[in-house]
Structure 1
Amino acid sequence: MALPRRSCINLPAQALAASACCPHSSAPCRQSPHHHLPARKRCERLQIASFGATSSLRLLPQLLAAFRQAHPLVEVHIEEAVNSVVLQWLLERRVELGFVVLPDERFDSVPLIEGELVAVLPATHPLAQKTSISALDFHNQPFIRTSAGSGPRVDAFLADKGAVPNTLYRFEQLSSMMGFVAQGDALTIAARLALPAPPAGVTYRRLMPRNHRPIALAALRFDRLSPAAAAFVETTRKLRKRLVLE
C-alpha cells in the first residue's frame, strides 16, 4: 500500500552543503510544482513499514494525519508485511521506520499501544458460553491459521500448552477468516485491534492467560534518522497518548 504525499522539510544549512540527500531519502524533486520554494527546503521521501491491520488501520491514519498537517507535502510510502519481514527490512535499511511487536533490543522504539489476542468464535459454538478461552480449548477443534502479523504469537500461545488444533484453513485476510467463522466452520485467534466489531454470527472472547503484545514505532537508531523520519518520530511521540483505538 503506498500513500504518496510530498512535503518539504527544512534542513540545516550545513546538511545542504554536505549532501544532496540523506541516505534514506530520495533525490530532490526534479519537476516539483514547488520548484519556486527557497533553496533551504528540500523534498524528501519517507519509507515506513507496517505489519498489518493493527498498525495500518488503527495507528497510521491518525499519525499520518498529524504528520501531514505539519509537513503537508512530504512523500510518504507505506509497505505492509508480517512482523518478521518488517524487522528484516529495518535491519537491511530498506525502510527507515517500522511498526513492530516488542520486545526487540536491536532497535530504538516509541511504544504506542498494548495489543491483545482474542478468541474468534462462531456465536453458536459451545465455547462461546465461556467468558475466557484457554489454549487447550482449541485442541482438536477446526481451526484457521493466519500468516498475518499475529500468526507467530498465536502459534506460540497454542504450543506453550501443547494444544494442537485441527488446522483446516490458512488465510492472510481477516475478511476470509471472519466469513468462515460466521458460518460455523472453524475457530481462530486474532489481534483484537485488527478486528472490526463482531459481525453477525461471530463473538470474541478473551484468552486465558491473557496475551498482550506491545506495539511500537521503531528504527535502527533514532539519532541517525533523516529529517523526514525524525519529524515523524517526533509527531508520534507527541500524539501517542491521544491515539483513538476504538
Structure 2
Amino acid sequence: MNETDIPLTIARALKLILETGSVSEAARSLNVSQPAISKGISQLERRFGMPLLQRGARPLNLTDEGQMLADYAERAGLLQKQVLQNLDEAANNRLGAVRLGSFGSSASFQILPKTLAAFARRYPGISVEILEFPDGELQQMLEDGIVDMAIMTVPQDDGLDIIPVATDKLVAILETGHPLAEKPSVSAAELAAHPFILTKGGSGPLVERWFAAAGQAPRTVHTVLQINSILALVEAGLGVSVIAELALPEGSGNYRALPLHPEAPRSIGFVRKEKSARSTAVDRFWKFCSRFDY
C-alpha cells in the first residue's frame, strides 16, 4: 500500500464502529476478522501519530481524527453510488455526450437536422454537440480528439471509419437576370470572366481546385463564410459564386443554381478514427448513423 493511501476498509470500519460502538460488529458487517480491523486501526494510529478511537468510552467511540476517516468512508460510499448510477445510465443510453464535427451548411441544412432529431427521440439522455470547422481542418480535429466523429467530405485515408451519407456537387449561383443564367451549364472560363464571390466554407478548396483544373482563376471580389450572405450578394448583382448544392437553403430567391461543366462531385459521410469510440454514447451514435435512412 502506498504511504499516502487511506485503506477504505478500515475507514469504513471506523464509520461502522461509530454507528455500532463495537469493533466486532464492524468486522462482522464488513465480513473481515476482528483482529484484521484492530490491526489496521493500530497501523493508522502509528502512521498519523494520534488515536482514532476513544478506547475508554462505552460504547466505543471515535476521536475527532477517527471521525474524519469515517466521514471519508461515507463520502467514498456516496461517490461510488453516484458512479455506479452514472455507469448504469450510460449503459442504458440515459446519459452521455457526443462531440460532432461538421463542415457547415451542407450538413446543417440537409443532413443533420433529421438525423439528430431522430436520435434524440430514441436516446433523449445522450446530447450531441455540433462543432463547425472548415472541411480542411476537420480531419486534424479528429486526430487531436477535439471531436469524436465528423460529417465532412470523405477523405482518402485508410485509417478512418466512414459511413457514406450523400453525394453532393458544386453548382454555379447567378442572379436571375445574369447573362449566363439561362445556360444549361457553365464552365470555369465563363465564370472567371465575372466578379466572383468565393465561399470560405467547407467547399471552398474544392471550388478553387475546380477552377485550377480548367486552367482558370476566379476574379474574387468577396470571400464570405455564410451561405445566406453569398446568396444576398449574388441577388444584389455583386458577383457570381460556386457552392455545394446541398448547402442551398430550401425555398427560392432571386438567383439561379446551374450545373457546372465539367461536374465537380464530392462524397459526404460520417467519419471517425478507426474503432476509436471514446464512450458508449459515442459508439451508440455511430451505430445509429450507420443504420439511419438518409
**TM-score if structure 2 supplies the norm length?**
0.67
Q: In structure 2, give the amino acid aligned to 1:160.
A: A
Matched residues in 2 for 1:154 and 1:38: separation?
A: 47
> 1:180 & 1:57 partners in 2: Cα distance?
20
Match of 1:41 among 54, 74, 89: 89
Contact 1:198 1:204 survives alignment (8 Å): no
Gaps of 5+ in 2: 1-77
* Deviation string, structure 1 residues 139-170 (Cα, Å, up to 9, x no partner): 23100012101100000000111112211111
More strand by share: 1
Any idea what the Cα deviations from partners look like across 1:59-106, whole Å, max 9, x if unmatched?
Answer: 111111222222111122110111112111001111111112123213
1:140-219 equivalences in 2 (<5 Å): 140-197=193-250, 199-219=252-272
Partner-residue secondary structure (3-state), 2:180: helix
- C-alpha deviations, 1:16-69, integer Å up to 9, x for none? xxxxxxxxxxxxxx9xxx999685223322111011011122111111122222
Tell whether 2:141 aligns with 1:89: yes
The answer to whether the 8 Å contact 2:97/2:282 transfers is no
Structure whose alpha-carbon radius of gyration is higher: 2
- What is the letter of the counterpart of residue 61 of structure 1? P
Specify which of 96, 102, 122 is matched with residue 70 of structure 1.
122
Aligned to 1:162, the other structure's residue is in SS state coil
Contact 2:148 2:282 in 1 (8 A): yes
Q: How many residues align?
A: 210
Shift of 1:199: 3.6
Query: Which whole-Å deviations, capped at 9, do the CAs of 1:155-195 have from their partners, x for residues lacking one?
Result: 00001111122111111011111111111110000011111
Amino acid at match of 2:152: V
Aligned to 1:107: 160
CA offsets, 1:100-151, max 9 Å, x none?
2123213111010001110001111111121011111112310001210110
More helix by share: 2
Change over 3 Å in CA distance of 1:162–1:39 after alignment to 2: closer
SS in 2 for 1:95: coil
CA distance in 2 between partners of 1:166 and 1:38 (Å) = 56
In structure 1, stretches of 5+ residues that fail to align are: 1-29
Q: Is residue 154–residue 271 contact of structure 2 (8 Å, CA) maintained in 1? A: no
Give the corresponding residue for 1:238. 291
More contact order relative to length (CA 8 Å, sep ≥ 6)? 1
* Distance in 2 separating the partners of 1:77 and 1:38: 20
TM-score by length of 1: 0.79
The answer as to whether partners of 2:104 and 2:132 remain within 8 angstroms in 1 is: yes
> What amino acid maps onto 1:125 in structure 2?
H
- How far apart are the structure 2 equivalents of 1:98 and 1:38? 26
The correspondence of residues 108-147 of structure 1 with structure 2, limited to 5 A, is 108-147=161-200
RMSD (Å) for aligned C-alpha atoms: 2.3
SS at 1:156's partner residue? Answer: helix
Runs of 4 or more above 6 Å deviation? none
Corresponding residue number in structure 2 for 1:227 = 280
Q: Could you tell me the percent identity over the aligned residues?
A: 29
* Candidates 38, 53, 75, aligned match of 2:105: 53
